[in-house]
């Protein structure tokens, strides 16, 4: 098995930094930003020079005209060889970054192993752009780099007890940082550090008015057990853009995803409106009479102290939202694991729901219909992140995640009592079954997913009939619980 394909886990520990150490760490983060940007600029130059050659143009024309799949495959192989010949590979990028002038200029700060890891990161961006679905390669804006890592353990960074040593490069003025690590608090952390260390990463997070720093230790093998109870049996989960519904033999539940971020999001929106007013007041020269930003000229923006304070508060709220979202997803995934270890979900692309609609349509009043879809909901609730967390926990505990074929399964349209499909609009939140029962749409979809056939192409009708009476009792109890809650519910839940 290749080294990068082996199982690994991560332990994160806070760093107890002093002000003078934070100053040097920030300097190194800025150097790494410049180093990555310099490498991106160099590689984009190489790519643009290649695209000007006749050989490249002829090859791309042949790829466009090719209709046979085998012929296309051969042409893509030639394209890959052509890119490798001019230095587009993981190894070449690692060499290029160490030969940059900026790396040699800051040798006292940056070790060659850490610089080569930056080259690997840039190569991943180009690899996605050249061979996958990447649209472009972005430069790092100032202050956006959040982490610095080495390639292998003890290469530029190393741990000795509760001290992290971060060395500079080969220079007469090499700067060596020795940073204290928070002491281990429990048996889980001690057991994790018994594993082989693969590499180290320093991560910074904005907390209120300054950065705090953490050490992420990537370790070989599966994570240590936290001895949580893991149930056995099937669970069907229907995940929406803001809600989640699950069905198991012992529990049926309809809930919001990351419900705790709602208040923070409202506060953040109000602050952003204040920031926009402050920016317009301080920079009237940058706006047209109709309020739009001027185009075609270089603009200089002035940020007042009041604006900077609000900017810091928004940054802190975003950090809180991210932590709350991750914490609630982990808690929900742990609860689902306690119900069963065989999870069934729909195989869907949440990324496809983020983009705006491409087709321009008119509404019933003759006005242009809005093109927005579910971008804000997905950004706030992060259902894809929840699926990733759940899948990782299932793998670690010996469970399995099954993704049914959405096109053939059609959980939102099927009625197992009539064995037929019936299309519904997005606004119809209740299913009226042929036997007369009225069932909440998301919970019924979760029930059908729980009873998926082995082919994952359709529900198992016999299994649905066997488990439906118990599901119906649990469903009614869940509806009573939700109606008894005093707090308002999302309209997509359909709670009356």
**pLDDT tens across 234-276, in order?**
999 999 889 999 999 999 999 999 988 877 888 889 999 999 9
Task: Quote the CA–CA distance of 391 and 401 in Å, as a whole number.
Answer: 6
- Average per-residue pLDDT for the chain: 90
Sign of CA dihedral 337, 338, 343, 349: negative
Residue 172: the pLDDT is 85
Residue 33: the pLDDT is 95
Q: What is the pLDDT of residues 324-342, one digit of tens each?
A: 999 999 999 999 999 999 9
State mean pLDDT over 383-406. Answer: 92
Residue 1: the pLDDT is 36
Residue 4: the pLDDT is 53
Nearest in space to 177 (alpha carbons), one of 151, 206, 154, 157: 157
Q: 218 falls in which pLDDT band (50, 70, 90)?
A: very high
What angle is formed at CA 34 by the lines to CA 104 and CA 111, rounded to 5 degrees? 40
Q: 487 falls in which pLDDT band (50, 70, 90)?
A: confident
State mean pLDDT over 419-442. Answer: 89
Look up residue 218 and give its two tokens.
């990537």
Task: Quote the CA–CA distance of 386 and 244 in Å, as a whole number.
Answer: 10
Does residue 375 register a pLDDT over 60? yes
- Among the residues of 340-368, which ranges form H helices? 351-354
Q: 173 falls in which pLDDT band (50, 70, 90)?
A: confident
Task: Quote the CA–CA distance of 50 and 44 in Å, as a whole number.
Answer: 10
Q: Is 237 helix (H, G, I), strand (E, B) or coil?
A: strand
In the chain, the percentage of residues whose pLDDT exceeds 90 is 65
Nearest in space to 243 (alpha carbons), one of 231, 259, 228, 230: 259
Residue 351: the pLDDT is 75
**What's the longest Cα–Cα distance across the chain?**
83
Residue 2: the pLDDT is 42
Does residue 3 register a pLDDT over 50? no
Residue 120: the pLDDT is 94
Look up residue 357 and give its two tokens.
């609609």
Q: Which of 150-164, 232-246, 342-356, 432-446 has the lowest mean pLDDT?
A: 342-356
Per the rule left: phi > 0, alpha: psi between -120 and 50, beta: everything else, 99 is alpha
Does residue 352 register a pLDDT over 80? no
Does residue 388 register a pLDDT over 80? yes
Cβ within 8 Å of residue 370, ≥6 positions away: none
Does residue 51 register a pLDDT over 90? yes
Residue 43: the pLDDT is 95
8 neighbors 221 (Cβ within 8 angstroms): yes
Alpha-carbon distances, residue 347 vs 138, 238, 314, 390 (angstroms): 30, 11, 34, 14
Residue 325: the pLDDT is 93
Helix (H) or strand (E) run with residue 318 in it: helix 305-339
Look up residue 210 and give its two tokens.
């300054």
385 neighbors 261 (Cβ within 8 angstroms): no
State mean pLDDT over 78-101. Answer: 91
Does residue 73 register a pLDDT over 50? yes
């Amino acid at each position: 098995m290749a080294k990068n394909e082996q199982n690994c886990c991560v332990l994160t520990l806070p760093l107890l930094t002093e002000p003078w150490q934070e100053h040097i760490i920030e300097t190194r983060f800025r150097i790494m930003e410049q180093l990555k940007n310099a490498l991106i600029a160099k590689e984009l130059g190489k790519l643009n020079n290649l695209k000007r050659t006749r050989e490249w143009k002829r090859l791309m024309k042949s790829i466009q005209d090719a209709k046979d799949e085998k012929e296309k495959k051969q042409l893509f192989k030639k394209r890959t060889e052509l890119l490798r010949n001019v230095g587009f590979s993981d190894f070449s990028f690692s060499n290029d970054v160490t030969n940059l002038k900026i790396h040699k200029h800051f040798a006292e700060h940056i070790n060659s192993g850490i610089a080569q890891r930056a080259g690997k990161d840039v190569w991943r961006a180009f690899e996605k752009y050249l061979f996958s679905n990447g649209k472009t390669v972005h430069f790092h804006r100032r202050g956006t780099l959040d982490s610095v890592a080495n390639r292998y353990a003890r290469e530029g960074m190393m741990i000795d007890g509760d001290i992290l040593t971060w060395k500079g490069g080969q220079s007469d003025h090499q700067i060596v940082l020795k940073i204290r690590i928070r002491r281990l608090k429990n048996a889980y952390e001690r057991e994790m550090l018994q594993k082989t260390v693969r590499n180290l990463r320093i991560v910074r997070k904005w907390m209120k008015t300054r950065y705090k720093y953490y050490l992420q230790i990537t370790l070989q093998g599966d994570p240590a057990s936290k001895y949580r109870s893991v149930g056995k049996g099937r669970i069907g989960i229907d995940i929406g853009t803001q809600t989640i519904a699950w069905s198991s033999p012992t529990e049926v539940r309809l809930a919001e995803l990351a419900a705790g971020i709602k208040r923070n999001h409202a506060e953040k929106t109000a602050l952003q409106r204040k920031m926009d007013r402050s920016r317009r007041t301080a920079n009237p020269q940058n706006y047209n009479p109709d309020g739009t930003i001027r185009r075609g000229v270089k603009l200089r923006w002035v940020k007042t102290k009041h604006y900077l304070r609000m900017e810091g508060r928004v940054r802190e709220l975003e950090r809180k939202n991210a932590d709350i979202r991750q914490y609630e997803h982990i808690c929900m995934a742990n609860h689902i694991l306690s119900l069963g270890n065989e999870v069934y979900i729909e195989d869907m692309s949440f990324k496809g729901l983020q983009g705006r609609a491409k087709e321009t349509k008119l509404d019933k009043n003759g006005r242009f219909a809005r093109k927005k879809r579910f971008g804000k909901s997905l950004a706030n609730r992060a259902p894809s992140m929840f699926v990733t967390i759940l899948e990782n926990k299932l793998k670690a505990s010996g469970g399995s995640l099954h993704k049914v074929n959405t096109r053939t399964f059609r959980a939102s349209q099927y009625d197992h009592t009539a064995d037929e499909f019936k299309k519904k609009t997005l606004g119809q939140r209740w299913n009226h079954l042929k036997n007369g029962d009225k069932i909440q749409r998301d919970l019924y979809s979760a029930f059908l997913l729980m009873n998926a056939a082995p082919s994952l192409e359709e529900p198992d009708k016999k299994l649905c009939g066997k488990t439906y009476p118990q599901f119906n009792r649990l469903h009614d109890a869940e509806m009573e619980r939700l109606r008894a809650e005093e707090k308002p519910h999302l309209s997509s839940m359909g709670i009356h």
